[in-house]
Structure 1
Amino acid sequence: MADAHAKKHDYHIIDPSPWPFLGSVGALVMSLGGIAWMKYLKGAEFKLFGVDLAATHFWLFLIGLFIVLFTMYSWWADTIKEAHEGHHTRVVSLHLRYGMIMFIASELMFFVAWFWAFFDASLFPGEAIQVSRAEYTGGVWPPQGIEVLDPFHLPLYNTIILLLSGTTVTWAHHALLENDRKGLVWGLVLTVALGVLFSCVQVYEYMHAPFSFSDSIYGATFYMATGFHGFHVFIGTIFLLVCLLRAMAGHFTPKQHFGFEAAAWYWHFVDVVWLFLFAFIYVWASAGATIAH
């Protein structure tokens, strides 16, 4: 009788889960809270079924965010549990890798949109620049009157930091393949520390930038591209921090460590995107412009 119910395939039929539904509810509540917040900042109302949500914008957004974060934690905890129970067979692991590749491809297209906006404005400045401040003039890129950041100061520091972090996460991966637990942990410690350092340098750079988001399309494209990359660095640092905690708990083995591998792929993707940001938005766009000191 037991043989009749034994699994004779490599696929994992997951148990019924509340997380997709709960995550959708959290995303809906968080989006409503975000819209209400923006309406509140403009002094407008945001009514839904006769209720003005703008009055409770902060709490609505916070509740939605909490639901989303709780769902993420619980769902990934279930995935880790399934891996420890042996459900991540060769076929399942292959499909997880396909999923991560598709996710990174979608992230790539996300950044393509911001690069597209930047190049469209920079290559055709006469058509794109709508100046909001009198001291700035259009027709050139960057707009005349805007002082740009020195690409070989803080941006260069951050480039070195990210390249080093790519080296340390690769060291950690090779240490894991060699079953060197100490090398794995220290490689991840250094990678997380470098990720935190990158974020700190970028925050300092933003605090001292001589232009703002609303100055012109230059500031808008600059902050959207570099800001979203900084957000991805923040997410990647958390991703690697979780891997560090799991490595210290002995979760990964040389043959089964997709969680760490996915984090390393994501981190290398962040590295590559930064190299393009540094080359074009910092270096190329600053050629002939006034450098702020």
Structure 2
Amino acid sequence: MLNINRQAYQAHPFHLVENSPWPFFVSFSLFGLAMNTALTMHGYIGSSIWVILGIVCLVYSMALWFRDVIAEGTYLGHHTLAVRNGINLGFILFIVSEGLFFFGIFWSFGHSAISPTIELGAMWPPMGIEAIQATDLPLLNTILLLSSGATLTYSHHYLINGNRKQALLGLLFTLVLAASFTVCQYIEYRTATFTIADGVFGSVFYMGTGFHGIHVIVGGIMLSVALWRIYSYHSTNTHHLGYHTSALYWHFVDVVWLFLFVLFYWYGS
């Protein structure tokens, strides 16, 4: 009986993904990281070694998962036009779900800011809380993030036009601006006069800005992988799906920050 290659004779353009252990390992690494971080912050664990171990396991699992996806799309040719269209649609739906997540945070902040209760002193920010002014570090962060969106667009434009050097340069500037934003956010947290335990203002403020900061870090990781793939000649002017989805994600992060800046820093202060 002839051994027919299923991949060579499949009657559809879609990629039937092989069994992979990496979603399982990434899920458990994330669970372990979140649980150990919470236990460490509340003093149940005296050492942060378990948090560091969770980060190492997560990064290692993600790297191996990225390796397999890159091999499927770059070397094995599984990312056909139909597959790329499906991934783009799925990623857009993911961004929509992220937008609804942040919408819930904005609603929570606005609900208390528009009509503060008597327990808050009938004022916003609540009595005793000195809010961060919009013209301080938040304004600098806004300039940094909007500039990173411009340099990313510059890089994407030149990649589409086949100028690899300028695409790499623009993407490198984007990563530098992203790192600068993260450093400024850290400085802002260190110098803030209120904490996440200071009522609804502190809770929603750190929830919104903190999750946005996590999105900036994740977007930076995605763009770093895209930078390496352009440098390694994996991405071309006609086939750069990973870079395209990373750029969509980063522009989403930019837009969310504008809403955060207006609502949390300008109106909230």
Consecutive unaligned residues in structure 1, runs of 5 or more: 44-53, 130-137, 287-293
1:263 counterpart = 2:265? no
Note the alpha carbon deviations across 1:159-211, whole angstroms, 9 max, x for none: 11111111110111110110100110011011011111111222222222232
Partner of 2:116: 125
The partner residue of 1:68 within 58, 75, 94 is: 58
Q: How does 1:48-127 map to 2 (within 5 A)?
A: 58-84=48-74, 85-126=76-117
What's the offset of the Cα at 1:121?
Answer: 1.6
Partner of 1:15: 18
Shift in CA distance, 128/97, structure 1 to aligned 2, threshold 3 Å: farther
What's the offset of the Cα at 1:264?
Answer: 0.5
Please tell me the root mean square deviation across aligned C-alpha atoms, in Å.
Answer: 2.2
Shift in CA distance, 128/105, structure 1 to aligned 2, threshold 3 Å: farther
- Provide the TM-score with structure 1 as the length reference: 0.82
Partner of 1:214: 197
State percent identity of aligned pairs.
40
Partner of 2:155: 172
The alignment covers a number of residue pairs equal to: 265
CA distance in 2, matches of 1:37, 1:73: 26
CA distance in 1, matches of 2:37, 2:148: 34
Partner of 1:184: 167
CA distance in 2, matches of 1:31, 1:207: 22
- Provide the TM-score with structure 2 as the length reference: 0.89
What's the offset of the Cα at 1:110?
Answer: 1.9
Partner of 1:289: none
CA distance in 1, matches of 2:65, 2:15: 16
SS at match of 1:147: coil
